[in-house]
Structure formats: C-alpha cells, structure tokens
C-alpha cells in the first residue's frame, strides 16, 4: 500500500486552506497514494483558540467535511481528514476530530482527540500559553479503522498530536495489532524540536508498525510557528521519508513482508506481560 502524509501551513482562511488541501490530495493521488492523510487543524488556524467555536461543523455537514468526501471520491483514495472542529452539545466546547472517508466518499470512522495539550512557551519576545481544555472537549474512545484494498485489509490506528506522548493509547490500539498508526499534528516549534522524531520513532519501534505523521510546518498567519517534519517511519523505527518545513508531502510504500520480518525476528508484541 502506498501512503502519503501531507504538510500544510494553514491560515485563518478556511476557504484558502480547503483549496490548498484539495491540491495536495490531488498531487498525492497522482503519485499513486492509496491512503492520504492531512494534518491537525488543516482547515483553520485562528488567532485565538476560541475562533474555532464559530466554525465548528455539525457531524455530516459543513465545507470541510464536504471537501473531504468529494476529494476521496474524486481520486478514489482512503482519506484521513487530519482534524477539524466538530460541534458538541456544549456551545463552549468542540471536538478536535479526525474523520476517515473511503474511496466512495463515505465517512467510515471518527476519532476525537483524547489528550488535550497544555504548554507554556517562552521566547525572547514574550510568552504564550496553550491550553486546549479551554475550548476542546476530550474524546474517550481509542479508534482504529480497517482500510480495505485489493491486497487485503490494513488496520490503521488513529491519534492526534499530543496523544503521541501517551503510549498506553497505542497499546490499546494494538489489540489486535495495527499495521499503521497515524498522528496528524500541529506540534509547536520548541516541543517538536525536542521530541517529535524521538516520540514517533519510539511508537513505531514499541508497536512494531508503520507510523505516519502529517503535520503543520511553518510560520502561520496568526504568528504561531509549527515544527513540521512530516514523516513516515517503518516498524524498525527507520525513517522512510521526511518533509521538514513548508507545504508539501511525503510518500512511502508499506510492506506486509517488512511487518512480518520485524515481528518475527524480535517478537516483542508476543512477549508482553502487562496490560
């Protein structure tokens, strides 16, 4: 299976972001990708976290979901919609939600980010507090989706950004084992510089599966700088592709033989005794 992870530098304009996402999806499909994933908050990066409240979409409605469905159907790909703000019954809270579409454009899975980011960023020009719990409602359900292709089914585990720091989530996703874990993200520059690659490769190694991490990467209209470095790693933790900064994409072929080889020569998943 050929996969593509897309990197964006999303702005405060949903219309512009959706058009940029469309173009990247089309480019990935043209390069032969069968599964395509967008980054966290691909449709909107506002000046303030509360800005997303007014743009939250009801499940099954809205321009971001329409674009995802149309693009999946037009290009005949499985499409993982990074994350968008989905409305809840609380007008002061939204879900940070991944939606997955099949090649017919049908929504087949939903995952709401479980772990909510909080971080104090200090720079020479000032400080900034990130606190997603002020606006987001945390999810509670680990979610995997079965991607069905001509060569059979691939089990894909879903997660979002800050989830990456909580290995217990991925252990739950590995029952039964996933073939691929997807981590759409918008890591801050300092946390990404320190921990991004380290954590992603660790998740690949300990779970003996592929990891794909589509990211926001660059300087945004709202003044924020995200780390980028969209990447794909194999089950041994080897980096297959990286796109460091700016809009772009990376592609890689997933191999069932490689999964089997790693799990056979070091059967760590079978050796688990806790959890």
Contact 176, 146 (CB under 8 A): no
Q: Could you tell me which of 158, 153, 133, 131 has the C-alpha nearest to residue 143? A: 158
Among 57, 113, 178, 197, the one annotated catalytic: 113
Among 52, 57, 132, 161, the one annotated catalytic: 161
Contact 128, 134 (CB under 8 A): no
Task: Report the distance separating Cα 251 and Cα 212, nearest Å.
Answer: 10
Q: Provide the token pair at 105.
A: 């454009």
Is 40 tagged catalytic?
A: yes
Burial class, 239, CB count within 10 angstroms (exposed 0-12 / middle 13-18 / buried 19+): middle
Half-sphere exposure of 114 (CA within 13 A, CB side): 17
Q: Could you tell me which of 122, 38, 44 has the C-alpha nearest to residue 82? A: 38
Phi/psi at 159 (nearest 5 deg)?
Answer: -160, 170
Q: Give the catalytic positions in this structure.
A: 40, 113, 161
């Amino acid at each position: 299976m050929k996969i593509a992870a897309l990197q964006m530098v999303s702005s405060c304009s949903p219309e512009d972001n959706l058009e940029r996402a469309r173009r990247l999806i089309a480019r990935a499909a043209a390069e032969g990708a069968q599964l395509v994933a967008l980054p966290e908050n691909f449709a909107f990066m506002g000046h303030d976290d509360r800005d997303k409240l007014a743009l939250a979409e009801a499940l099954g409605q809205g321009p971001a979901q329409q674009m995802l469905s149309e693009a999946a159907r037009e290009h005949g790909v499985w499409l993982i919609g990074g994350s968008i703000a989905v409305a809840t019954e609380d007008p002061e809270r939204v879900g940070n939600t991944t939606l997955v579409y099949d090649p017919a454009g049908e929504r087949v899975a939903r995952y709401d980010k479980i772990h909510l980011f909080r971080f104090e960023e200090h720079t020479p020009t000032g400080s900034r507090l990130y606190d997603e719990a002020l606006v987001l409602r945390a999810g509670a359900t680990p979610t995997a989706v079965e991607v069905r292709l001509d060569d059979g089914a691939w089990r894909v585990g879903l997660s979002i950004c800050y989830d990456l720091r909580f290995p217990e989530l991925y252990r739950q996703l590995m029952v039964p084992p996933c073939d691929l874990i997807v981590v759409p993200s918008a890591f801050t520059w300092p946390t990404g510089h320190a921990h991004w690659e380290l954590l992603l490769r660790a998740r690949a190694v300990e779970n003996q599966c592929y990891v794909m991490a589509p990211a926001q990467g660059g300087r945004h209209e709202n003044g924020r700088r995200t780390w980028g470095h969209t990447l794909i790693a194999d089950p041994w933790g080897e980096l297959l592709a990286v796109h460091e900064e700016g809009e772009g994409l990376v592609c890689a072929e997933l191999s069932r033989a490689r999964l089997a080889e790693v799990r056979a020569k070091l059967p760590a998943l079978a050796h688990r005794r806790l959890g």
